């Protein structure tokens, strides 16, 4: 049972990290008004502080992916 849990947790952890990276990149794109039109709506558009928060979130997601990939099974 422990081996299956470790594999499932590793997959979940990696997907969570990738989701955080994607969300961070969306926030950065909105802050600099870069991206497709359907994303360029809302209060985050052209507010550059969201680029900082997006960078922090994307780096946290990258750390999550690296940690989960280096984690033993």
Find out whether 50 and 31 touch, Cβ atoms under 8 Å: yes
In this prediction, residue 11 carries a pLDDT of 92
In this prediction, residue 39 carries a pLDDT of 67
DSSP-based three-state secondary structure for 15? helix
In this prediction, residue 45 carries a pLDDT of 79
Q: Read off the pLDDT of residues 29-62 as tens digits, 9 standing for 90 and up.
A: 888 887 776 667 777 778 889 999 999 999 999 9
46: tokens are 């052209």
Distance (Å, whole) CA 12 – CA 6: 10
In this prediction, residue 30 carries a pLDDT of 86
| pLDDT over 70 (residue 73) | no
Q: Closest Cα to residue 54, out of 73, 35, 68, 70?
A: 35
């Amino acid at each position: 049972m422990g081996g299956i849990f470790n594999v499932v947790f590793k997959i979940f952890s990696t997907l969570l990290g990738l989701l955080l990276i994607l969300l961070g990149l969306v926030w950065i794109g909105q802050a600099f008004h870069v991206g497709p039109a359907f994303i360029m709506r809302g209060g985050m558009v052209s507010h550059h502080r969201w680029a900082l928060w997006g960078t922090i979130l994307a780096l946290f997601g990258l750390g999550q992916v690296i940690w989960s990939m280096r984690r033993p099974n």
